């Protein structure tokens, strides 16, 4: 018997239908399942709503795409619960199975990771903390993809000072700064011309966004190195975690990023070929 918490995309009808059918399938086989209240209400499935913590589950089942997977990771808040992603979009980097493969995947998961039935793909995450100019804490977050310090007003750059292990590196006039994990290298960092890094690595990627300066290269840092980004100009900035804006930043605010001791754990069946997914995503030819 396994305990499963289901998360699903709020705006895709197929996600609600699949959640309902999957819950019935699990219950018929003696398993327990529930949904967080927001998901259950949004999808018209109030009977599945529960205040039970996702951290108590044996599995988090994500129905949607990569955005839904990111939300599932945040719901766990670092708890070591495996996640299984079901792709209801075009082609997800993080999801593992298609909808028609779901019941078979759940049956295999319930057997346990024996004889290579499934394994965990562990991904590095970032611990992000922010203080204001007076040193007062603004907040703490955990990111799977990235932390982004970005401009608040259109048409203006912001000035940011980058420190590595407490030592100033340089200041940037830019639209923003991305500090990402290897998993996040194919997210916002990629659109800012950052490097593509295998998610098997542990590293910090620092990529300026539209810098107004000659030095515009990304930095790939060792995971033991600590990154700080300080807002040094008078123009306001904002902090976004995995695409969600979480805090305003004024002059003197400092965003600190370091690898988290927690990891995101994705269920994989058989061999998982990250580079083949990347190839398909961009329609790359063999030659």
Which pLDDT tens digit goes with each residue over 223-278? 999 999 999 988 999 999 999 999 999 999 999 999 999 999 999 987 767 777 77
What is the CA angle 170-186-4, rounded to 5?
A: 120
Active site (catalytic) residues: 66
- Check residue 202 and give left, alpha or beta (phi > 0: left; psi -120 to 50: alpha): beta
- Predicted confidence (pLDDT) at residue 64 exceeds the cutoff of 90: yes
pLDDT tens per residue across span 79-95: 999 999 999 877 678 88
Tell me how far the alpha carbon of residue 51 is from its chain's centroid.
23
List, in order of start, the domains of the chain with CATH numbers.
3-118+269-282 (3.40.50.10330), 125-262 (2.60.200.30)
């Amino acid at each position: 018997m396994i305990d499963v918490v289901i998360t699903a995309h709020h705006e895709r009808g197929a996600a609600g239908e699949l959640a309902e059918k999957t819950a019935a399938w699990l219950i018929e086989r003696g398993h327990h399942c529930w949904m967080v209240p927001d998901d259950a209400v949004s999808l018209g499935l109030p009977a599945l709503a529960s205040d039970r913590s996702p951290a108590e589950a044996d599995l988090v089942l994500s129905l949607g795409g990569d955005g839904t997977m990111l939300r599932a990771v945040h719901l766990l808040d670092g708890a070591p619960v495996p996640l299984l992603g079901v792709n209801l979009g075009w082609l997800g980097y993080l999801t593992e199975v298609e909808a028609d493969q779901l019941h078979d995947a759940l049956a295999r998961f319930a057997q346990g990771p024996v004889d290579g039935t499934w394994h965990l793909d562990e991904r590095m995450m970032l611990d992000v903390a922010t203080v204001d100019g007076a040193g007062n804490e603004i907040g703490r977050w955990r990111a799977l993809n990235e932390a982004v310090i970005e401009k608040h007003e259109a048409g203006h750059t912001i000035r940011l000072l980058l420190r590595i292990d407490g030592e100033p590196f340089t200041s940037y006039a830019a639209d923003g700064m991305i500090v990402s994990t290897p998993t996040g290298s194919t997210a916002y960092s990629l659109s800012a011309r950052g490097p593509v890094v295998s998610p098997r690595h542990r590293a910090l990627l620092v990529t300026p966004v539209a810098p107004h300066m000659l030095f515009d290269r990304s930095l790939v840092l060792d995971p033991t190195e600590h990154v700080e980004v300080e807002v040094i100009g008078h123009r306001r900035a904002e902090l976004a975690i995995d695409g969600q804006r979480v805090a305003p930043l004024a002059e003197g605010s400092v965003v600190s990023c370091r690898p988290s001791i927690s990891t995101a754990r994705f269920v994989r069946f058989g061999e998982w070929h990250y580079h083949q997914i990347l190839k398909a995503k961009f329609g790359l030819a063999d030659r």
